[in-house]
Amino acid sequence: MNTKNVRKYQATSMTQLAQAAGLDVRTFYGYFTTQDFHAMIDLGWNPHTQKKKLPPPIVKYIREKFIDIE
């Protein structure tokens, strides 16, 4: 993973990411597949001890997959 690109992403809450996508959180979670959750876990996300803010590598994954689509 290129840490230089990860640094431009800040820790963000899932609510903020959903708002950036123009959705509420419940709808936004509906777009995630099992593979997305596994990828996020591989990047260090622990859904059982979920914190308010997601770490930058997970924010990068979500933004690139769901929000910053060109």
Q: What is the pLDDT of residues 7-31, one digit of tens each?
A: 688 999 999 999 999 999 999 999 9
Angle 6-25-64 from CA coordinates, rounded to 5°: 30
Percent of the chain with pLDDT over 90: 66
Please give the backbone phi and psi of residue 29, each rounded to the nearest 5 degrees, phi first: -60, -30
Q: Residue 58: what pLDDT?
A: 95
pLDDT of residue 8: 83
